[in-house]
Amino acid sequence: MSAASAPRPYTLVAELTYQCPLRCLYCSNPLDYARHQASLATDDWLRVLRQAESLGVVQVNLSGGEPLLREDLEELVAEAERLQLYTNLITSGIPLRRQRLERLQALGLDNVQVSIQDVTAAGAERIAGRRSFERKLTVAGWVKELGLPLTLNVVLHRENLDHVGEVIALAERLGADRLELANTQYLGWAFRNRELLLPTREQLTRARAIAAEARTRLKGRMELLFVTPDYYSEKAKSCMEGWARRFLVVTPDGLALPCHLAHTLPGLTWQSVKDRPLAQIWHDSPAFNAYRGEAWMREPCRSCERRSIDFGGCRCQAYLLTGDAAATDPTCSLAPRHELIEAARQAAQHPGPAVLHYRQAPRRAAAAAAVADALSDSHRE
Ligand code: SF4
Ligand code: FES
């Protein structure tokens, strides 16, 4: 695809750090994240924001890991505000203090997205790998008290899908403006923990019905989104709305990517925002053009009428499951390797005891976790 016809990115996912006090079993950070040590300097991120805005980006997801662990977050929010970018802070909430939230709001922060793992401390903390539940509720309360829009994000899986009704009730109690019930996508750490997390079709059907009823009931008060897992959708989904179409990810060490796991794909060379302007990477780099559009597709995608809707599904999932990044995503019922998904669904009917694979907390994140524990003890600021 030529630079002239390349689409324009709308959202910049700024992965400010891979450090995080939590160790969620479905974390989307790379399995080898602890090896990514070098992080971008403040000036690098400020330049990335300016270049992203020139490229057409209108929204910045300040994400991680845990973005609050960056001490320069305030500077980044201020610059995004100056550029009139919509800023969404995607946080565990753990290291947050109320005063800092007030400061971020004053600097122009537009939205806060807090993740909740389940409706009880025991259930949530088994998934998050550490004490965190009460703290998250406190932080969600601050967001609302300050008048900021609150998005609650709950990743669904076998262990909490049966609690969807309670999750919705909790979101109502907290006054969430938006509730994202996002079923786990089995990549990264979630793939490693798939045996534990993959639900049955029956669980999913029940939860979907509850969510649909609530969506109607809450219309106008709370936006409710229910994202089906790829493994039960029969049709592939357009991951990131298509490769290098709408999303631009920048990793903590500066790689520009079309999705957060693209650097796990073989044979592609990723460029750093330290070495090249973002526009050049977006338009011209061979890796961004590798799966952009439809020219790279093979059958059955090449002649399928859905190819411009789902773009052949997720490249990272195709590679993870088949060893071939150009394969049709096996979650599509027409995919030559769809039997891999059927086998996983079958196994979910009779799960054995599963080992829990938590990501290990590097030193700085462990320190942040200790601070958060102390804060949770008092619960007050
Ligand atoms: Fe999508 Fe390819 Fe499946 Fe067609 S064959 S529905 S384009 S993944
Ligand atoms: Fe990389 Fe789907 S996560 S294309």
- Check pocket membership of 206 for ligand 1, CB cut-off 6 A: no
Question: Given CA atoms 80, 29, 339, 209 in this order, what sign does their dihedral have?
Answer: negative
Q: Cα(175) to centroid of ligand 2, in Å?
A: 32
d(CA 49, CA 278): 10
> Residue 35's pLDDT is what?
64
Give the atom of ligand 2 at the shortest distance from the alpha carbon of 262. Answer: 1
Any idea which ligand is nearest the CA of 292?
Answer: 2
> Residue 351's pLDDT is what?
79
Strand partners, 257: 249
- Check pocket membership of 287 for ligand 2, CB cut-off 6 A: no
- In one letter, which amino acid is 64? G
Q: Cα(291) to centroid of ligand 1, in Å?
A: 14
Q: How far is CA 83 from CA 8, 58, 79, in A?
A: 17, 9, 6
pLDDT, tens only, 169-198: 999 999 999 999 999 999 988 999 999 999
Helix axes 201-217, 164-174, angle to 10 degrees: 30
Locate the DSSP E strands across the chain. 11-15, 59-63, 86-91, 111-115, 150-156, 178-183, 223-227, 247-250, 256-257
> Residue 123's pLDDT is what?
82
d(CA 87, CA 261): 22
120: left (phi over 0), alpha (psi -120 to 50) or beta: beta
Residues 326/329/332/338 CA torsion (nearest 10 deg): 100
Q: What is the pLDDT along the chain (381 residues), one digit of tens a residue?
A: 555 567 999 999 999 998 888 788 888 776 666 666 678 999 999 999 999 999 999 999 999 889 999 999 999 999 999 999 999 999 999 999 999 999 999 999 999 999 998 888 888 888 878 888 899 999 999 999 999 999 999 999 999 999 999 999 999 999 999 999 999 999 988 999 999 999 999 999 999 999 999 999 999 999 999 999 999 998 999 999 999 999 999 999 999 999 999 999 999 999 999 999 999 999 999 999 999 999 999 999 999 999 999 999 999 999 999 999 999 999 999 999 999 999 999 999 987 777 788 877 555 545 555 545 544 444 433
d(CA 52, CA 75): 16
| Residue in 215, 260, 232 with CA at minimum distance from that of residue 157 | 232
Q: Which residues contact 239 (CB under 8 A, 6 or more apart)?
A: 259, 311, 313, 314, 315, 316, 317, 329
d(CA 274, CA 364): 24
pTM, rounded to two decimals: 0.90
Any idea which ligand is nearest the CA of 294?
Answer: 1
